[in-house]
């Protein structure tokens, strides 16, 4: 499988020295194709802060962004469908008044879980679109 390049963006002097000293170890353990020091994160990279530098891992060519976007959108649509079904049940006065309280509570919990799942996927989609 392809290995992504890794860039340390704007490391302080101590961190830059550590990167140079441990380059081979970072390459091996990080399973990356290259270790570089850069002024800015490359396009299509995810970033995180570690010690005295921002670390950028390029996902270009590693993840099919269009396929991942389609997968997330499909899962969001499935949650929307679940949310619609549960809302329809809970919006029906006959269901709420006739069903056992634990069944109604179960449906409310299912709704909350679906809404939480949808929110997580929407956040993931937003992060993906920012790449």
C-alpha to C-alpha distances, 18 to 9, 50, 63, nearest whole angstrom: 14, 12, 29
User: Residue 8 region, left (φ>0) first, then alpha (ψ -120 to 50), else beta?
Assistant: beta
Ranges of CATH 1.10.287.380 domains, the chain? 65-129
Percent of the chain with pLDDT over 70: 100
Residues 6+ apart with CB under 8 A from 99: 107
Please state the rounded mean pLDDT for residues 51-72.
Answer: 88
pLDDT of 129 higher than 90 = no
Count Cβ atoms within 10 A of the Cβ of residue 50 and give its class: 0-12 exposed, 13-18 middle, 19 or more buried. Answer: exposed
Strand partners, 5: 34
CATH of domain 65-129: 1.10.287.380
Mean pLDDT over the full length of the chain: 93
Which whole number is the average pLDDT over 109-131? Answer: 92
3-state secondary structure of 51: coil
Q: Which two tokens stand for residue 20?
A: 């140079």
What's CA 113's distance to the chain center, in Å?
18
């Amino acid at each position: 499988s392809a290995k992504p390049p890794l860039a340390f963006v704007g490391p302080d002097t101590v961190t830059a020295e550590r990167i140079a000293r441990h380059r081979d170890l970072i390459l091996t353990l990080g399973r990356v194709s290259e270790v570089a020091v850069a002024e800015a994160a490359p396009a299509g990279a995810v970033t995180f802060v570690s010690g005295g530098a921002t670390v950028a891992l390029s996902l270009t060519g590693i993840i099919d962004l269009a396929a991942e976007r389609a997968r997330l959108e499909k899962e969001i649509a499935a949650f929307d469908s679940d949310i619609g079904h549960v809302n329809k049940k809970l919006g029906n006065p006959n269901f709420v008044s006739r069903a056992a309280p634990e069944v109604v509570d179960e449906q409310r919990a299912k709704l909350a879980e679906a809404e939480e799942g949808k929110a997580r996927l929407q956040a993931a989609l937003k992060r993906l679109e920012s790449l």
